Structure 1
Amino acid sequence: MARKFLYIVAALIVLVIAGGFIIRIYESELTELAFVPTAKFEKQAAFEPSKYAGNDMWFARPGKIGNPADWLPTGAAKAEIPGSAAIFFVHPTSYIGRDYWNAPLNDTQSQDRARLFLRGLASPFASAGEMWAPRYRQAAIGAFLTTKPEGQQALDAAYQDILLAFDEFVAKVQKDRPIILAGHSQGALHLTHLLKDRVAGKPIAKRIVAAYVVGWPISVTADMPKMGLPACTGPDDTGCIMAWQSFAEPAEYDRMVKVYNATNGFTGQPRKDTAMLCTNPLNGGAAPAALMKANLGTLKPDDKMITGALIVGAVPARCDNKGFLLIGDPPEIGPYVLPGNNYHVYDFPLFWANVRADAAWRLRKYLQK
């Protein structure tokens, strides 16, 4: 398993259903798959405060051997001198079982999948510094496919683990060290709450190089005022948020908008008809649109799913007026595309080299201030 390509992050149905909020849009199509847990929800016992003090509860952290995020695609040079940032990365959903509402940490399959996700999604950040990626009792994919209260309870329980891991991360990292936050899908959802609860209005906000909250909708007016950081408006900005949700054209996201419009944001105000945050990963948020020549490299796996290569100039990117990132004609990057030309599972790989360069450049600008 460990030798298989990171980017089984686009393999099996896991990657098609790892979309959290997005998958709720396709609830009617996926109900027949019966991913909703059949077990009674059991409240998880809270971890003791020292749970994350050792290596066992981390996929990656300084001093732990076998960091999955150290993987690099063919043609990507390893950084001669790693950056000075501390990176906190929250992986997406990897548990598709029905036996539990929250994934047990001894579930081998979901833990192996999470490692593979980290190899594909966290690897762009690894050259910017030391990677910290916690294990956590993630909500099962079925939590996103039901209106039962157990679904939200499972997400709330998973978030408590993330909070504990983050507090340990902050306690162990040097007090003046710059921080990069990143997550995708369920991981991005937890990151939005983390920004609200642990960053907004607190001294640590001054240490944030950037937060990459990718693959989850964020309302510019109903969420961001409570998240403590503004949107990135250019590659030189620091202490800001990068966020996008990728669609090829023609994009069909009406069902996603319908679910989004039915929810309230962190301010308590409705998200209905509010713009979603979209920062273009090809130009650091400097403009809504960028040509494909600005794409430094899209990650594509080989046929055997063992390695991958970077394709320069594969896709352009343009934020539309609703806040979705449009990438033009559907690229041939892999078969795991959601209905409506939704490239959710490829949010990071589509712009792998740009994300890597963006994180390194923002760190440089942060250190110059």
Structure 2
Amino acid sequence: MARKFLYVIAGLIVLAIAGAFALAIWGKELQKMAFVPGDGFVEQERLADNAYRSTDMWISRPGIGLDDPARWQPATRGEARDVPTADENNPEFVVFFVHPTSFLERTSWNAALEDAQSARIAEVYVRGMASPFNQASEIWAPRYRQATFGAFLTDSPDSEAAIDTAYEDVAQAFAFFVDSIGPDMPIVLAGHSQGALHLMSLLQRRIAGTALEDRIAAAYLVGWPISVAHDLPALGLPACATAGQANCIASWSSYAEPADPSALIETYSESRGLDGELRGDSGIVCTNPISGTANGTAPASANLGSLVPDTDLTDGELVPRYVPARCDDRGLLLIGPPPEMGAAVLPGNNYHVYDVPLFWRNLQRDVAQRVGSWTKQPR
């Protein structure tokens, strides 16, 4: 099978911080010098109309078999917890997952599909972040010409073009995905960081107000702050308010305490929402991934299993009751004292890299509950 999730940590400390909301860690000018491409954006040729017919264009999809990273099932430390399994007649559903940034180079604004290093790391992300959805009938995770990390450190026309290029690949992959699945199958959208950004665009441009909107059993847009006032209305779906609610959006950004989210909050407040207005001090969507509720609080005892790395970084296992979670008044998810997760914790006790692994087992249960609710709705 593909290499273990823990390669995320080994030598890739800043990799998953891609996104305009995780900036100002070392100083914006220094970051720009290190990561923003020096040359101008070169317009990318649109992928062939049938590009996503090729299995090579997918990290995960039906037919890959044992080497599919999204199908990984980690071991559990200690007692097993009460979580629905695939043999308990869970409702069928399909997942479209978009991985976060795995390309740091400043040699180009977008990663080439044939770039071996970024492709390998993208598979690692799919293993660690798409695997909580492994009870799905089908999981589809496309390769795409992602925007480089430096594209999120500037608001130049070049960066906008790079992000748009990445989005168009994702949109093309999604269109093929929809054509390939059953017409009545519930859809779960899931993505992290840059992946969550592209799913926001997909909801706004391709799904909201269409027949597809009703088929979205849940959308997990994790690691990218969503403004309640300036983003959410354009996405067509409400924020998830209760556990088991269907047709809704779940999102969170994780910090241990004491948390210093000043870099995120500053950049968030100065950015423009999907309505074109400054996000300012508007509230951020915060779903508690342990309880499944909006702005909720849950003790560590309710955490069914965090995906925690071994000390030698060769594997990981699910550890029950590892961290609590509570949404604060800013819309950030606080997880108590810093848990030991490895070397990829970011300044300010930012656990962005671990947004999904910290709540792996609860997320597995959460999606089953939301899809179950979806199947019971009258149509």
Give your verdict on TM over 0.5.
yes
- Is residue 2:346 matched to residue 1:338? yes
Q: Normalising by structure 1, what TM-score?
A: 0.95
SS of residue in 2 equivalent to 1:132: strand
SS of residue in 2 equivalent to 1:131: strand
Q: How far apart are the structure 1 equivalents of 2:134 and 2:227?
A: 29
SS of residue in 2 equivalent to 1:345: helix
Q: Is the 8 A contact 1:94 1:114 kept in 2?
A: yes
Distance change >3 Å, CA 58–CA 32, structure 1 → 2: closer
Deviation at 1:72, TM superposition (A): 1.4
Q: How far apart are the structure 2 equivalents of 1:18 and 1:170?
A: 30
Q: How far apart are the structure 2 equivalents of 1:267 and 1:44?
A: 27
Cα deviation 1:267-316 (Å, max 9, x = unaligned): 22221110010011011115521111111111111133332111111111
Cα deviation 1:89-116 (Å, max 9, x = unaligned): 0000001122211000110010000001
Name the structure 2 match of 1:255. 263
- Is residue 2:79 matched to residue 1:72? no
SS of residue in 1 equivalent to 2:44: coil
Q: Is the 8 A contact 1:182 1:213 kept in 2?
A: yes
Name the structure 2 match of 1:36. 36
SS of residue in 1 equivalent to 2:284: coil
SS of residue in 1 equivalent to 2:45: coil
- Is residue 2:347 matched to residue 1:347? no
- Is residue 2:71 matched to residue 1:63? no
- Give the stretch that moved more between structures: 7-16 or 276-285: 7-16
Structure 1 counterpart of 2:86, which letter? A
Name the structure 2 match of 1:23. 22
- Give the stretch that moved more between structures: 93-102 or 12-21: 12-21
Q: How far apart are the structure 2 equivalents of 1:147 and 1:12?
A: 28
Structure 1 counterpart of 2:338, which letter? P
Q: Is the 8 A contact 1:5 1:307 kept in 2?
A: yes
Q: How far apart are the structure 1 equivalents of 2:16 and 2:233?
A: 30
Q: Which runs of 4+ in 1 moved over 4 A?
A: 14-17
SS of residue in 1 equivalent to 2:219: strand
In the alignment of these two chains, the number of paired residues is 368
Structure 2 counterpart of 1:19, which letter? A
Q: Is the 8 A contact 1:3 1:306 kept in 2?
A: no
- Is residue 2:113 matched to residue 1:112? no
Q: How far apart are the structure 2 equivalents of 1:287 and 1:35?
A: 35
Name the structure 2 match of 1:5. 4
Q: Is the 8 A contact 2:223 2:252 kept in 1?
A: yes
Structure 1 counterpart of 2:57, which letter? M
Q: How far apart are the structure 1 equivalents of 2:142 and 2:333?
A: 28
Structure 1 counterpart of 2:27, which letter? S
Alignment of 1:118-267 (within 5 A): 118-267=126-275
Name the structure 1 match of 2:279. 271
Which sections of structure 1, spanning at least 5 residues, go unmatched? none
Distance change >3 Å, CA 33–CA 310, structure 1 → 2: farther
Deviation at 1:32, TM superposition (A): 7.7
Structure 2 counterpart of 1:156, which letter? D
Q: Normalising by structure 2, what TM-score?
A: 0.92
- Give the stretch that moved more between structures: 300-309 or 325-334: 300-309
Structure 2 counterpart of 1:7, which letter? L
Deviation at 1:83, TM superposition (A): 4.9
Cα deviation 1:17-63 (Å, max 9, x = unaligned): 53322332326165287122233320001112211122121111112
Q: How far apart are the structure 2 equivalents of 1:325 and 1:337?
A: 15
- Is residue 2:290 matched to residue 1:282? yes
Q: Is the 8 A contact 2:21 2:263 kept in 1?
A: no
Structure 1 counterpart of 2:281, which letter? D
Q: Is the 8 A contact 2:2 2:68 kept in 1?
A: no
SS of residue in 2 equivalent to 1:8: helix
Distance change >3 Å, CA 82–CA 126, structure 1 → 2: farther
Q: Is the 8 A contact 1:23 1:144 kept in 2?
A: no
Q: Is the 8 A contact 2:90 2:368 kept in 1?
A: no
Distance change >3 Å, CA 32–CA 136, structure 1 → 2: closer
Q: How far apart are the structure 1 equivalents of 2:371 and 2:16?
A: 33
Distance change >3 Å, CA 185–CA 47, structure 1 → 2: same
Alignment of 1:296-311 (within 5 A): 296-311=304-319
Q: How far apart are the structure 1 equivalents of 2:2 and 2:55?
A: 22
Q: How far apart are the structure 2 equivalents of 1:286 and 1:255?
A: 24
Q: Is the 8 A contact 1:128 1:359 kept in 2?
A: no
Q: Is the 8 A contact 2:59 2:123 kept in 1?
A: yes
Cα deviation 1:322-365 (Å, max 9, x = unaligned): 11001111111112111111100000011010001101121122
Q: How far apart are the structure 1 equivalents of 2:71 and 2:314?
A: 15
